[in-house]
Amino acid sequence: MLDPQARALIDLMIQKGVPPTHTLTPAQARQFYLDRRTFTQPDPPVMHEVRSLQAGGVATRLYRPADGVLPVMVYFHGGGWTIGDLDSHDVLCRQLAQASGCAVVSVDYRLGPEHRFPAAVDDCVAATRWVQAHAAALNVDATRLAVGGDSAGGNLAAVVCIALREAGATLPAFQLLIYPATDMRAVAPSHQTNGQGYLLTSDSIAYYRGHYIADEAQWSDWRASPLLAHSHAGLPPALVITAGYDPLRDEGLQYADALSAAGVTAQYVCFERQIHGFFTMGRVLDEANTAIALCGAALRRALIR
């Protein structure tokens, strides 16, 4: 069954007449996404330091939960490559930093439709390389660097790992993929079974994809669909998390399976009763906080020594 708290949230949104994302302009959708934070997100945890940075020409925000040289996760926010920013995921980045004991660098990559594919990929690769190169100045350990993201951000985290492997560059030590989009063709069975009624709908997926990718032929580019990469061998260990009532559930599982089949250490956890986006809803969904604690533990195991 659907988690009762998730059911209550969906029912409330229907009762309040909340407009579906695909009926809004990108500017309206971005503002609505920010406005909704106060209802669904917990209070922001206090950090030792929060600082704005320019990383490879990309705006970022550094979160440090403690002093000293820390492991670091470069984090890419969700929002369908169209909405979301440093503020929409401020609380989540603080929670992940607090839960893991790692610094977090949140990346404000360019969004569609103003900046289409592969602009977001280019920004995320550039920001990751910059953090690797400037680790000493940031008081973080480049040998204990992870990438992570939710939804579109999970897609970008997976793509960054493949891009760095293809370039022969230093790979992250870990990848945290939270309900990632991995196949732009949207052909996995969960797109049918979960395509309506659970916040993220097939209509919204088409809306986001249309703003991000102008040419359907690019759907098969691994920089858009990391599941379709020629190989998944040699990529960093991963934790892939999905939600049972999410259109993206099956392609997240498929990506975890592809990593495992290629010999990559990959763990997969599905929160069977949850909906897409639940990680940022810890004020109203208890399982969000459970999931963040799980991610924190995984990051500690992978990076803290």
Is 74 part of a structural domain of the chain?
Answer: yes
Q: Which amino acid would we find at residue 163?
A: A
Residue 203 lies in a domain: yes
- The answer to whether position 8 is within a domain reads yes
Residue 245 lies in a domain: yes
In a domain, 31, yes or no: no
* pLDDT for the residue numbered 304: 87
> Does 144 fall in a domain?
yes
Number of domains in the chain: 1
Q: Is beta strand 266-275 parallel, antiparallel or unpaired with respect to 238-245?
A: parallel
Pick the catalytic residue from 88, 100, 106, 151. Answer: 151
What averages of pLDDT result for each successive group of 10 residues across the chain (305 residues)? 98 94 96 91 98 95 98 98 98 98 98 98 98 98 98 99 98 98 98 97 98 97 98 98 98 98 98 98 98 98 90
pLDDT at 37: 87
How much is the pLDDT for 56? Answer: 85
Which of 3, 85, 90, 246 does the annotation list as catalytic? Answer: 246
- Could you confirm whether 231 is annotated as catalytic? no
| Residue type for position 208 | Y
Residue that the structure tokens 């290629």 belong to? 262
CA distances from 165 to 144, 183, 231 (A): 17, 19, 10
d(C-alpha 31, C-alpha 38), whole Å: 13
Catalytic status, residue 276: yes
CB-CB contact of 246 with 194 (8 Å): yes
- Other CB atoms within 10 Å distance of the CB of residue 35: 9
Catalytic: which of 77, 191, 211, 276?
276
Is residue 30 included in any domain, yes or no? no
Q: Is 39 among the domain residues?
A: no
Domain containing residue 123: 4-18+46-303
DSSP string, 133-145: HTHHHHTEEEEEE
Tell me the C-alpha distance between 157 and 146, whole Å: 9
CA–CA separation, 217 vs 167, rounded Å?
A: 23
Q: List helix spans (H) across the chain.
A: 4-15, 26-35, 37-40, 90-100, 119-133, 135-138, 152-166, 190-193, 202-212, 249-261, 286-303
CATH number of the domain enclosing 12 = 3.40.50.1820
Has 246 been annotated as catalytic?
yes
